[in-house]
Amino acid sequence: MKIIFCCTGTKPEPWLAGLRSALPGAEVEVWQPGAPQADHAVVWAPPQQFFDEQTALKGIFNIGAGVDALLKLKLPPKATVVRLDDAGMSVQMAEYVCHAVIRHFREFDAYEADIRAGKWSYRKPLERSDFPVGVMGLGVLGARVAQSLAQFDFPVVGWSRSAKTLAGVRCFAGAERFSDFLSATRILVNLLPLTPETRDIMRLQTLSQLQSGGYVINVARGAHLVDEDLLSLLDKGHLAGATLDVFRTEPLPGEHPFWHNPKITITPHTSARTLRDQSIAQIAGKIRCLEAGQPIVGVVDPVRGY
């Protein structure tokens, strides 16, 4: 069995060593143009040339949860595309989102500004019941985030394409319930996959339906958010602020207004990083299953886009 590694911007040596250890007997190599045909590929942001040459692939393993960029390429027709379904990312995402929600709710950003200005001040405690959190996307990551938020006694609502049931979360499903979800939400968390249907989903029409004083947390993809519409609603006061980890162009251009808007907190696409050892163990397990003809989870439906 031959496995080929093609991950742009990733140091290959630790991955090769880990895959060789997890799959004894497998031939594991870094892709070079003209390389012999492989059975499986471990990829991140590969060039089209890679798939044009590697036409015999049975499995394509993406070392991240998002596959939108991968699906834009022309892939081998018989290959199964597989995404990481957790590999240590869900707990990181829950940490990030809970931190952002609590920082906003407890007004820690305002306290920080006061301290920097040399002011010793107090604010009246707020009521959690006035800050319902809505999570868009209830897959592995979204479900973990929603249930983690519920542990802090926030009212939590969730929205997904198909019906879901989660303890402590009031779930909405389908386009016909999207407006109901938005109107029940004050703090909006986006964890949707990026598809043609979800691109620009956070725009003036939808964000205006959030409760007054709303807050936006985007940890999915930058193309979900219309930047100008967010800035407009912040200027008008309908939205109180935002925490953004993903952007349409990354790194975020130096002239972008998000850098200098005091109502926006930005981080450099770091809400949930791929953990190498856990990812290797998951990928190796799935390769063994595919080779044995057994079913696996995390298989991507190219039609749905996730």
Residues recognised as catalytic: 221, 269
Query: Residue 190: beta bridge partners?
Result: 136, 218
Match 């070392």 to its residue by tokens. 63
Helix, strand or coil for residue 191?
A: coil
Ramachandran angles phi, psi of 225, nearest 5°: -110, 130
Say if residues 81 and 44 touch (Cβ distance below 8 Å).
no
Q: How far apart are CA 200 and CA 194, in angstroms?
A: 9
Q: How far apart are CA 119 and CA 98, in angstroms?
A: 27
C-alpha dihedral sign at 267, 269, 272, 273: negative
Q: How far apart are CA 39 and CA 167, in angstroms?
A: 41
Q: How far apart are CA 163 and CA 225, in angstroms?
A: 24
Q: How far apart are CA 297 and CA 83, in angstroms?
A: 9
Ramachandran angles phi, psi of 244, nearest 5°: -125, 130
Q: What is the DSSP string of 222-255?
A: GGGB-HHHHHHHHHHTSEEEEEE---SSSSPPTT
Say if residues 181 and 131 touch (Cβ distance below 8 Å).
no
In 3D space, the residue among 150, 145, 144 whose CA is nearest the CA of residue 132 turns out to be: 150
What's CA 44's distance to the chain center, in Å? 15
